[in-house]
Copies of this chain bind each other. A is one copy, B any other.
Amino acid sequence: MAIKLTDVKKLRELTGAGMMDAKAALENAAGDFDKATKLLMEKGAQLAESKADRSALQGIIVAYLHPGDRIGVLLELNCETDFVARNEDFKKLAHNLALQVAGMHPIYIAPEDVPEEVVAKEREVYAAQVQDKSKEAAEKAIQSKLTDFYTSVCLIKQPFVLNQELTVENIIAETVGILKENIKIARFVRFEVGDRS
């Protein structure tokens, strides 16, 4: 079937994929644009996973101040080489992550960073709410509430502020797909005037 060049171009812009990758995805999706986007995202996520073990010790520090200077964020984003650290796509990702932290107020980077006692306490609260359900249904409901909890407090699990259809994890995978290096959020802080939490 014929793949429209405008679709290839649009897909490349959206996902940052190369020309051949975008074309192949559209072919595999039989021209279905949304399906092709999904295919490319999955490929990016797989690539991100395959890069995840490689050490990421280069990178940049990025700062973001909300207009009014009452909310500020400092974030360290790591990659593997100094070359990528100076890349514009990498810098843009770092800026978007800082913006995300300012607006969405995550507390942890990833679910594995949430202390065990915090998870246990959440579990307890949820368990009390589903007492009347069967054991199986209760556990399922608790898991679902825990997933919601991670989505709310973990940076990489949050919907991305500039495109709520993607998660932060997705947009990182996207940049990994472009730059072909392991990319890792090392740490972040968010200061709000008068907030001591």
Contacts and interface: CB of A to CB of B under 8 A. Distances in A.
A70 B62 CA distance: 9
Interface of A: 57-65, 69-76, 78, 85, 91, 187, 189, 191-194
A190 to B, nearest CB: 9
Contact of A191 (B64, B65, B85, B187): B187
B187 A74 contact: no
Contact of A61 (B59, B62, B70): B70
Given A63-B63, A72-B62, A78 B193 contact: yes
A76 B191 contact: yes
A73 B74 contact: yes
How many copies of this chain sit in the oligomeric assembly? Answer: 2
B61 A72 contact: yes
Given A72-B74, A74-B72, A74-B73, A59 B193 contact: yes
B60 A69 contact: yes
Contact of A63 (B72, B91, B194): B72
A192 to B, nearest CB: 7
Nearest to A66: B61
Nearest to A69: B60
Nearest to A79: B193
A74 B69 contact: no
A135 to B, nearest CB: 43
B193 A61 contact: yes
Contacts of A69: 60-62, 85, 91
Nearest to A86: B69
Sorted nearest first, the 5 A-B pairs with minimum C-beta distance are A61-B72, A63-B63, A74-B74, A60-B69, A61-B191
Contacts of A60: 69-70, 193
